[in-house]
Amino acid sequence: MTALDSLYQQVILDHAKARHGDRALPDADAEHFERNPTCGDEITVRVRLEPGSDRIAEVAWQGDGCSISMASASVLTDMAVGRTVPELLALTEEFRTMMRSRGSGEPDEDVLEDLVAFHGVSKFVMRVKCGMLAWVAAEAAAREATAV
């Protein structure tokens, strides 16, 4: 596989086109806006919890950015729904660790599922923020949704 193909895994290219969760969420419990000032990528992630619970019922986002950031937001939507907020925060930490690995180690597919496709991104330091953008926004929105 070329270096470029290891960055743009098919899973990433597919998610970048499919953009799961790219829509409004009027009854969200919380939302958070993140922007990468160096490249202009931006995203607002919205989270709705199941009533009286910290379990995530729905995630949606609206934003504009490169294929890495849009694919990451799409995977976030698939993976966040059904998890509790603490579970999402733990998953985000796992993802962050992998994204900071600079391509080292072997990511745990049982935990990270489709996110393992982003392991190649971690070798491209300039693109790590793209991969994390939606997750950083989701982290903040999820915390706010559960704040009493």
Partner 1 sequence: MAPNQPLTESEVEAIRRDFPILQQEVNGFPLAYLDSGATSQRPRQVLDAERRFLEHDNAAVHRGAHTLAALSTDAFEEARATVAGFIGAAAPAEVVWTANATDALNLVAYGIANASRGRGGAAAERFRIGPGDEVLVTEAEHHANLVPWQELAALTGATLRWVPVADDGTWTAEDAVALVTDRTKVVAFAHVSNVTGMIAPVSAVVAAAHAHGALVVLDACQSAPHRPLDVQALGVDFAAFSGHKMLGPNGIGVLWGRRELLDALPPFRTGGSMITTVTMEHSEFMPAPERFEAGTQPVSQAVALGEAVRYLQGIGMERVRAHEEHLARLMLDGLAAIPGVRTVGPAAGVPRSGLVSFDVDGVHAHDVSQYLDAQGIAVRSGHHCAQPLHRRLGLVATSRASTYVHTTEQDVDRFLTAVGEIRAYFGATA
Q: Which residues bind partner 1 (CB under 8 A)?
A: 2-4, 7-8, 13, 16-17, 38-42, 64-68, 70, 124, 127, 130
Here the tokens at position 128 are: 């790590």
* Least spacing, CB of residue 15 vs partner 1, in Å: 12
Of the two residues 64 and 93, which places its CB atom closer to partner 1 in the complex? 64
Identity of the amino acid at 106: E
Here the tokens at position 89 are: 């925060």
Residue 120 near residue 10 (C-beta atoms within 8 A): no
Of the two residues 20 and 127, which places its CB atom closer to partner 1 in the complex? 127
Of the two residues 67 and 84, which places its CB atom closer to partner 1 in the complex? 67
* Least spacing, CB of residue 7 vs partner 1, in Å: 7
Of the two residues 46 and 127, which places its CB atom closer to partner 1 in the complex? 127
* Least spacing, CB of residue 21 vs partner 1, in Å: 18
Residues 120, 101: Cα–Cα separation, whole Å = 10
* Least spacing, CB of residue 142 vs partner 1, in Å: 26
Round to the nearest angstrom and report the end-to-end CA distance of the chain.
Answer: 48
Residue 104 belongs to what H/E stretch?
none
- Which residue matches tokens 């919890």? 49
